Amino acid sequence: MTDPRRRVLVADDSALLRQWCRHALEPAGFEIEEALNGIEALEKALVSSFDLIIVDVNMPYMDGITFLQSLRRQPLPLGGTPTLVASTEGGPQDREAARQAGANFYLVKPLDEDVLRRHVAALTGAAA
């Protein structure tokens, strides 16, 4: 029996980045769901379970930090869903804000496919 595909929610207002993540992760066996902003991501996470959420910091309506804070206030298992922040903001204060909000890991854009796949595999427990 094969392992079920790991489900990853990608929350980013950039269609290009969402498509790039899909291109990088689907061939590695991940099922990708997309959200345009933090509100949509939280709504999707409330109705469906994900093995990982990749979230941008700068998004309209609800930014990534506010999304992480809202997610971490949810009861388990939702509140404990692993998260990876992918942002153009790479300063120590940005990383610390994400860590304080509950991010498990932080990558700075532009992303490298191999690095992304390794981190996603590690955070979801999938074979790398």
64: domain CATH number is 3.40.50.2300
Q: Is residue 75 part of a domain?
A: yes
Q: Span 114-122, mean pLDDT?
A: 96
Question: 84 in a domain, yes or no?
Answer: yes
**What is residue 5's predicted lDDT score, i.e. its pLDDT?**
83
Question: Across residues 2-26, what is the average pLDDT?
Answer: 91
Q: Using an 8 Å Cβ cutoff, are 84 and 120 in contact? A: yes
Kindly report the pTM of this predicted structure.
0.94
Distance of CA 43 to the CA centre of its chain: 14
* Domain that residue 68 falls in: 8-123
User: What is the tally of structural domains in the chain?
Assistant: 1
The answer as to whether 58 is a domain residue is yes
2: in domain: no
Confirm whether 3 is domain-assigned: no
In a domain, 40, yes or no: yes
